Amino acid sequence: MMKSLLGAAAALSMLGVVACSQGPNEEAGENADNAAEQATTGTTDMGQGPGEEAGEALDEQTNGMPAGETTTTPATTTP
């Protein structure tokens, strides 16, 4: 009984991890945070840092489009 309960709990926790995905700007912010922490302290903190938070906000504003990219729209011509 206990093993099946633990197995079910583990499966549910994995679903939560899979459902949470990062956008490209959030990932870039996380990488910048990790690089800064590694350079200054020699360790990395797995918590959310300021770069990751800024990237997450940017992902929300741009619908997950990487910073610096724009959507291209076809040129319109007049007859």
User: Which of 4-13, 19-28, 48-57, 61-70 is the least confident region?
Assistant: 4-13
Report if pTM > 0.85.
no
Q: What is the pLDDT of residue 16?
A: 45
Asked if residue 38 is part of any domain, the answer here is: yes
* pLDDT above 90 as % of the chain: 43
Domain that holds residue 53: 25-42+49-60
Query: In this structure, is residue 18 part of a structural domain?
Result: no
Question: What pLDDT is attached to residue 73?
Answer: 55
- The CA radius of gyration of the chain, in Å to the nearest whole number, is 20
Q: How far apart are the first and last CA of the chain?
A: 74
How many domains does the chain fold into?
1
5 has a pLDDT exceeding 60: no
- More confidently predicted of 61 and 17: 61
